[in-house]
A and B are shown apart, each in its own frame.
Chain A
Amino acid sequence: MAVPTDEIVQDRAVVAPLSWAFVALVPLTFLLVGLVLRFLAFRAALPEAPVTNFAQALCRWDCHWYVRIAEEGYDPFPVPGRIVAGNWAFFPLYPGLVGLVRQLLPFPTMVTATLVSLACAYAAAVAAWPLLAGNRRAYVLYAAFLLAGPFSVYFTTFMTEVMFTLLTIGVFLALRQSNHLVAGALAALLSATRIVGVFIVFAIVLAMFLDHRRQGGTLAGFVPALLRRPVWLLAIVISPLGAFAYIAFLDGLVGDGLAFQHVQRAWGRELGNPLGYLAQALTTSARSGFFPSIVQQQGFAALAGLGMTGVLAWRRRLPEALFSLVCILVPLSAGMASMPRFVAGLAPVCLMAMTLLAARWWLFALALLVLLVGGYFGAFGWITEYVALV
């Protein structure tokens, strides 16, 4: 049975110079629109705050941990702040990058982080173009989603989602082009960005298997074929290298390479059945009114992510579906916290959602309007610490 190949449109933009302008200018436009929307939300939420506090005001929740890592590095044990939770749970690539750029620019950390995040979000939008198979409406929606949408605060302040998204797109772009070694190298960076990044190795192996099948290989012949391809093997073993480097670092720092996982105890998180957590969240209604409770909203985010994962699988985009499934189920096994953020930062899921929303003109226009209006309210909720967004 032949396995269908994914459409690659990498040459289409080269052929038409106007396409390049489109690809470059659409995210640039939304970058500026997003800045305006978030600034308006900042003024509405904090009317007394000086304008110069704009970047700092958008630093909420985990952002503060990243700022401290960028400025001071990782905690020894005992933690200097005399708190139970060290900052080991936060993977080093993105705060490390901001920390480096901070040495070069004369700005406060949050201003530098905002600039780096905007650059990464712009790059992620542009990099997503070949994955959208020339679908301009989907491209517009995804650029709006990243740079000006309800969750744009995740991609334009100082959270790891923007780097995670950029690298995820990079890995799947490389896999589409069967460039496994580049995919492996980007995966290594991804695994140093968030713990779930390490699971991209399963998507890479699955993509290799699908390539093997396209070339007429059999299931039984996959492992021997893999062993005959040292470059494929190299791509696999370098994929988790970023996570292993962080584990080795933590081992040297506190004598516990898995400190990033063990420290979850300080936040009271217990591993459990992800579907049990999901069912419990969806059935926990608000005490009054019809509006869904916070955990229900988080549950809806997980459901939406799982739904899009199903669509990916149905469309035979199996590596992306596999990665998305793991990236939803693993954090879900520790409870509902941050599910909207985790799903919003999952590029294959969001790209698929934008593709579906771009199917009709009216739906596209409505989705774009909702995204931009949501961009204002999302930023307002973020600044005022609306818990579902954490």
Chain B
Amino acid sequence: MSEAPRPSPVTLAAYGAVAIILAVELVVFWRALNPSAEGDYRAYYIDKTTTCLAQPMTGAYELGRRVSFRSDGAALTRELKPCGWEGPVGDGTHSVGETSRLRFAVGTADAPLELALEMVAVDMPGPPRQRVRVSANGIFVGEAGLTPGEPRRATFPIPVEALGGTGILDIALDFPEAISPGPGVSNTRKRAIKLLSAQLSAVDP
């Protein structure tokens, strides 16, 4: 009875290399399927629970000043838009996605404020009316209904408890009826409103 030939050292080395490379690839693959990223990254890119990935804007703003979100206000509004906006262009700053955010640095403000937003609904095939649900630092402060071609100035009271003492006021605008521009397009590209101007003022006693 003849014995099977012993594998050469080169053959053994090749099998060994295959085993090592395969093991490394399996580990990398497992880690790829179980990413360690958390927070905003995970919510936006992986879990897709938000369409608005907030950027670290300063919110630099002079309390009481009305700022234009058309092209003429680009410099003043740049630091006010953490996410969910495109523009500004001539007819305003366009919302993209299902939520857009505004940020205002309010300093040591410790009294109620009022937020005034001038907005208009986009004119696209879809729901005839856009609802805008507004919250301030996570506290719901009101809702506005908008129709295309009819700009509207809506005001929202900002209670003291929403200010939270951080000096930053984060405003979230949710658009439940945001319109998809077409099939096969992610919800990060949905359209709802055009923001024309914003003003955050102290409330007269």
A interface with B by C-beta (< 8 Å)? 77-78, 82-84, 230-231, 233-234, 237-238, 240-241, 244, 247-248, 251, 254-259, 262-263, 265-266, 268-270, 272, 276-277, 280, 335
What is the CB-to-nearest-CB distance from B138 to chain A, in angstroms, rounded to a whole number? 21
Whether A82 contacts B56 in the complex (CB less than 8 A), given A251-B28, A265-B186, A335-B184, comes out as yes
Tell me, yes or no, whether B35 is within 8 Å of chain A by CB: yes
Q: Which of B15, B83, B184, B189 has the most CB of A within 10 A?
A: B184
Q: Which residues of B contact A82 (CB under 8 A)?
A: 55-57
Contact A230 B18 (CB under 8 A): yes
Q: Are B21 and A270 in contact (CB under 8 A)?
A: no
Which residue of chain B is the closest to A270 with respect to CB atoms?
B186
Report whether A241 and B186 are in contact in the complex, using a CB–CB cutoff of 8 Å.
no
Q: How far is the CA of A214 from the CA of B18 in the complex (A)?
A: 25
How far is A374 from B14 in the complex, measured between Cα atoms in Å? 49
A265 lies within 8 A of B18 (CB):
no
Closest CB-CB distance, A78 to chain B, in whole Å? Answer: 6
Contact assessment for B28 and A255 in the assembled complex, using a CB-CB cutoff below 8 Å? no
Partner of A241, one of B21, B38, B185, B189: B21
Question: Quick one: given A265-B186, A270-B184, A270-B185, are A256 and B41 in contact (CB under 8 Å)?
Answer: yes
Contact assessment for B37 and A258 in the assembled complex, using a CB-CB cutoff below 8 Å: no
B184 x A255 contact (CB < 8 A): no
Task: Name the residue among B15, B28, B46, B57 with the largest chain A CB count within 10 angstroms.
Answer: B28
Contacts of A268 in B (CB 8 A): 185-186, 188-189
Alpha-carbon distance between A343 and B163 when the two chains are bound, in angstroms? 55
User: In the complex, how many angstroms separate the beta carbon of A310 from the nearest chain B beta carbon?
Assistant: 25
> B: which residues have CB within 8 A of A?
11, 14-15, 17-18, 21-22, 24-25, 28-29, 31-32, 35-38, 40-41, 44-46, 48, 53, 55-57, 83, 183-186, 188-189
Known: A78-B56, A231-B14, A270-B185. A255 touches B36 (CB 8 A): yes
A353 smallest CB distance to B (angstroms): 28
Can you sample 23 A-B contacts with CB below 8 Å? A77-B37, A82-B55, A84-B44, A230-B18, A233-B14, A233-B18, A234-B17, A237-B22, A238-B21, A241-B21, A247-B29, A254-B37, A255-B38, A258-B32, A259-B45, A265-B45, A265-B48, A265-B188, A268-B185, A268-B186, A268-B188, A276-B184, A280-B184
CA distance A256 to B41 in the complex (A): 9
Q: How far is the CA of A240 from the CA of B22 in the complex (A)?
A: 10
* Chain B residues within 8 Å of A230, by CB: 11, 14-15, 18
Are the C-beta atoms of A77 and B41 separated by less than 8 Å?
A: yes
8 nearest interchain CB pairs? A257-B32, A230-B14, A255-B37, A268-B189, A262-B45, A256-B35, A255-B36, A82-B55
Contact between B46 and A257, CB atoms less than 8 A apart: no
Chain A residues with CB under 8 A of B21:
234, 237-238, 241
Q: Is the CB of B45 within 8 A of A256?
A: yes
Give the distance in Å from the alpha carbon of A256 to the alpha carbon of B25 in the complex: 15
- Known A82-B57, A248-B28, A257-B32; contact A266-B188, beta-carbon cutoff 8 A: yes
